[in-house]
Amino acid sequence: MSAERPEVLTVNQLTRKVKGLLEGQIGQVWVGGEISNFRVSPAGHSYFTLKDKDSQIDAVMFRGRLRKLGFDPDSGMDVVVYGLVTVYEKRGSYQIVCEEMHPKGVGALQLAFDKLKSKLQEEGLFDEEHKKTLPMLPRRIGIVTSPTGAAIRDMLNVINRRFANVHVILYPARVQGDEAAPEIVEGIRALEAYGVDVMIIGRGGGSLEDLWPFNEEQVVRAVFETQTPIISAVGHEIDFALTDFAADVRAPTPSAAAELVVQERAALDKRVLHLSERLTKATTRSVEQSRNRLRLAHASYVFQRPEELVRQRKQQADELRMRLHDHMADAVADARKRLDRAVHAHGLLSPARRVSDAQARLARSRVGLSRAASSVVTNARNRLAPVMAQLDALSPLAVLARGYAIAWNNADKTVVRDAATLKPDDVLTLRFGNGGATTRVEKVDEK
């Protein structure tokens, strides 16, 4: 008997079979465990190990899915993932390709909540300077919530009771589950584009997992970026969502949000009546004050006998005119006396006489100055003559005039004082008592 030849598989073929078995028999599953060795590649994909106390499995979550998470996964965090169990053929290792990931338990959710809150707070999304004021009488109110929940019924009841003719626009959106966050964001943007005066987003109470869509980063950023004033009304009074911090106003409940956005008509009418009464009283008081001033003015002396005031003013003006006339007469008489004294003094001190005396003194001064200058010049000449004679005697020109000469060496421009400093062919410049010449040395005789 000839034995059948066994089928020999390649490594790749065997890996493909194992891969097919895993994907076919197990497929997509939910798995819970602790993240270990979490890392993100430059391409944005995350790789980590999911483990418990007995076993571990490699896991990968690609960039597109990772970006949709409402928290930042990290090593040591307990999570629940949903994905396909398969084989990474290049290494032959089995792994789970995660499509969803959720923190496991309230503690993990709270950790994700705190991490995202710190991140957004550092970016300034919760700063008071960005908060907008709610309109006093909004005509169109936009609401983003579930159309079937108790929250919308409570808000509509409050609005209709307080001010029935307000226009309410509801954008229906899921407020729980994985698809809730995108729908809430879409609702906010749609109402913003429609042009409502104020917006309410929220839902009734629930667990932290139920309220989680209002902690999603995309929802919080949409609340921050809108130009329409937003009231966040999520859960009960003790519940807090990240949209509460990013919104312009936080309401403890949806009903409270409706009370904040719509003033009660009776209260508004009462306020208008109160303001009207205050205005009437203020107007009456102002008119009464004006009447009192008019009565006082009418009873005053000015309005009783105005002609007497005119006569008194005329008499005062006449007295002032006479005083001015007397003052002017005294001033003219005084000026006339000062003028007479000046004319008399002018006769005693004639300018012509003073000019003549000054001219005589000037002539005498000129004669004296001429004599003094002539004497000074003569004395200076007498002192200068012997000095000039001595200077002429000591002048080099006088020496040269007696037959001497001065020689300069043209090479170094120095006076020749010793024949030993010369050599044949040196060019010399000679200076005589009158004129000069240039010569060349043919022979040097040092003696």
What pLDDT, in 10s, does the model give residues 220-277? 999 999 999 999 999 887 778 999 999 999 998 998 998 888 875 556 777 788 888 8
**Mean pLDDT value across residues 405-431:** 86
Report which of 36, 242, 297, 18 is spatially closest to residue 119, judged by C-alpha positions: 242
**Mean pLDDT value across residues 306-323:** 78
Least confident of 69-73, 102-106, 249-253: 102-106
Write down the pLDDT at residue 108: 64
* pLDDT for 308 beyond 90: no
Query: Could you give the percent of the chain with pLDDT greater than 70?
Result: 94
Write down the pLDDT at residue 213: 92
Write down the pLDDT at residue 214: 94
Q: What confidence tier does 1 reach under pLDDT thresholds 50, 70, 90?
A: very low
Average per-residue pLDDT for the chain = 86
**C-alpha radius of gyration, the chain, whole number:** 60
- What is the full DSSP assignment across 365-411? HHHHHHHHHHHHHHHHHHHHHHHHHHHHHH-HHHHHHTT--EEEETT
- Dihedral sign, Cα of residue 62, residue 64, residue 66, residue 69: negative
Query: Could you give the percent of the chain with pLDDT greater than 90?
Result: 30
Write down the pLDDT at residue 347: 65
Cα→Cα distances 206→184, 237, 320, Å? 17, 12, 97
* pLDDT for 350 beyond 70: no
* pLDDT for 307 beyond 80: no
Cα→Cα distances 322→316, 318, 319, 331, Å? 10, 6, 5, 14
Write down the pLDDT at residue 120: 92
User: What's the predicted TM-score (pTM) here?
Assistant: 0.44
